[in-house]
Amino acid sequence: QTCALPILASVALTCRHDVQTLTRAVNAQLPPDIRVRTVEDVPSDFHARFSARAKTYRYQLRDGGLASPFDGAFVWHLPETLDIPAMQAAAGVLVGTHDFGAFQSVGTPVSTSVRTITRSEVTRVPSASALCPASVRSDRFNTYTIFT
């Protein structure tokens, strides 16, 4: 499963509050499981999605044994033991500039499907009972390339 943490958002506001006061005020109105960590002044042409220089997708995998009921929304449980060295080798092949057109959805309206992946890694956390974080960082992603 994919969990987008942190999420960056942009809004245009006209107010006289400083960013610390605005942060507290927004958090006071949000449910307890959603938090605004920082508020920053940015140029008026900034857009959280279109101004991004890179995007990182992080995945939490757990292999073997029984799935934890506490992991459900955040960890992809796989009952078989993962071959971490093979996954690390495969992740390394993704680093570089490649054409990912074969992996995008049909009819995706993009001028090019060439993307540069700057980091792709899989690890095993020895102290976390079979937790295997994986991440991919790229200048852009094609629609549905990483999610499927």
- pLDDT value at residue 1: 43
Q: Which of 70-74, 88-92, 127-131 has the lowest mean pLDDT?
A: 127-131
pLDDT-based confidence at residue 20 (cuts at 50, 70, 90): very high
Q: What is the pLDDT of residue 31?
A: 94
What's the token pair of residue 148?
């499927």
Distances (CA, A) of 147 to 34, 57, 90, 141: 23, 9, 17, 10
When the pLDDT of each residue in the chain is averaged and rounded to a whole number, the result is: 84
